[in-house]
Amino acid sequence: MSAPSATGQVVTVTGPVDPRSLGHTVTSVHLVSDLNGLSEADANGLSEGGANGVFEAGVDEEPVSMELLGALALGALNRDDRRLTAADVRPELADFAALGGGAVVEVTGADLGRAPRVLADLARATGVAVVMGCGGYSPSRTPGLADRTVESLTAEIIGELREGVDGVRAGVIGEIEGLDPDRPADRVLVAAVAHAARRTGAPVLIDRAATAAATHGLLDLMDASGAGLGRVAVGHCDGLATDADALARLADRGVFLQFDGLGRLPTVNREVDDQDVAAAVLDLAERGHAEQILLSPRVARKIDLKAFGGGGYGFVAEQFVPYLGYLGADEALLSTLTESNPRRWLTMTEGRG
C-alpha cells in the first residue's frame, strides 16, 4: 500500500516534514557509503585527478592515518578512505548541527553502500534531517540496465519514493551521474527519471554532462518527457565557475545550479577553487538567478571529514557563507542560498499522473 501523499512536504528518512523545519541545508553529500565499486575513471574523478589516481601497494589497503593524508590529498587512492560508516559520520553530523545545520541530502547509490535504516538512525541520533536519494543508476555499473524498459525503471523509482526501501522512503531522485544523450540506455534512464518525477512531484538531481551540448540535450529529453525543469538541479556546476555565460545559459532553462564541490583542498590539478565559485554565485545573483543556486560541501571520503583534515558537512555554514558575506552578500541572499532554495527544491509538488 502506498504511503499518503507528501505534497507540500519534504520526505526525510524519518518521515515527511514541514519544509520550514529544515533550516540550513546542504544538498549533495555521502553519509554511509562504500565507493570502492566505482570504475577506475570514476575513481580518478573522485581523487581530483591527483598525482597518482590509482591504487598503490602500501597505500591502498592501509587504514587512513595522519601519515597518509598528504598522499591521499594529492590523489592516491585508498580503500578505507572511500568508505564512510555511521561511526565516522555521527560526530560530524553533530558538528554540522552545532553550526546551525538542519538537513542534508544523501546521494549514495544503492550499489555503493546506501543504508536506509542506518540513515534513519543517524537522523534520530543527531537531529539532522536526512533526505535520501534513489534512482542513481549508472550505465557503467548496473548490469542489465541497457535491457531495462522505461516503464520498469519508472516503477522502481516510484516504489522507492512512495513505499521506500526497508521501510525508509527516498525524497529525491538522484544523484543521476553524468549521462550521454546519444546513448540509448542513458536516454531510457532519463525518460524514466522524468516520468517518475512527473508522477510523484519529486525533485531531481542530475549531474552536468561531459559537454555543454550534452547537458542541454539531457535537459531537452527531460523536458520532452514531462519533467518540469524547475524541479531539476544540475550538479557539479563548480567546473563552470569561471564561465559565467555557460552558467547563465543553464540558469535560463529554469533549473537549479548546484555547486557541490565546496571545501576541497586546492591542488595544481584543479581548474577552479572555492573563490571562483563564490564569484560565480554572486554573478548569478546579480543576473537575477539567486533563487536557483544550491550549495553543498564535497563529502565523499574520510579525508573530507573534519576528523581527517577536511571541511566536513559544516563547511558551507562555517567558512563559505562568511566568505560570501565578506564579498558583499547580505543576509537575505545568504538565507536564500542555504535555506529557501533547498527547501523549495525538496518540497514535493503534486504529481501529474
DSSP 55: B
| Predicted local confidence at residue 27, as pLDDT | 98
- The answer, yes or no, to whether residue 290 has pLDDT greater than 50, is yes
pTM of the model: 0.94
| Predicted local confidence at residue 4, as pLDDT | 65
- The answer, yes or no, to whether residue 206 has pLDDT greater than 90, is yes
| Predicted local confidence at residue 269, as pLDDT | 74
Lowest mean pLDDT among 102-111, 130-139, 289-298, 332-341: 130-139
Provide the 10 A C-beta neighbour count for residue 200.
Answer: 24
The residue among 90, 105, 177, 94 whose CA lies nearest residue 135 is 177
> If you search the block for the grid coordinates 514535493, which residue do you land on?
348
Q: Which whole-number Å values give the CA distances from 130 to 98, 111, 120, in the listed order?
A: 16, 19, 8
**Mean pLDDT across the chain:** 91
Give the H/E segment covering residue 154.
helix 150-162
- The answer, yes or no, to whether residue 5 has pLDDT greater than 90, is no
Summarised one tens digit per residue, pLDDT across range 62-82 is 899 999 988 888 888 899 999
Summarised one tens digit per residue, pLDDT across range 28-50 is 999 999 998 775 445 444 544 43
- The answer, yes or no, to whether residue 217 has pLDDT greater than 80, is yes
Greatest alpha-carbon span in the chain: 55
- The answer, yes or no, to whether residue 353 has pLDDT greater than 80, is no
Summarised one tens digit per residue, pLDDT across range 237-247 is 999 999 999 99
| Predicted local confidence at residue 95, as pLDDT | 98
CA distance 123 to 195: 30
Angle at 177 between CA 349 and CA 266, to 5 degrees: 110
Fold classification of 18-38+82-346 (topology level): TIM Barrel (3.20.20)
Find out whether the peptide bond into 175 is cis, omega within 30 degrees of 0: yes
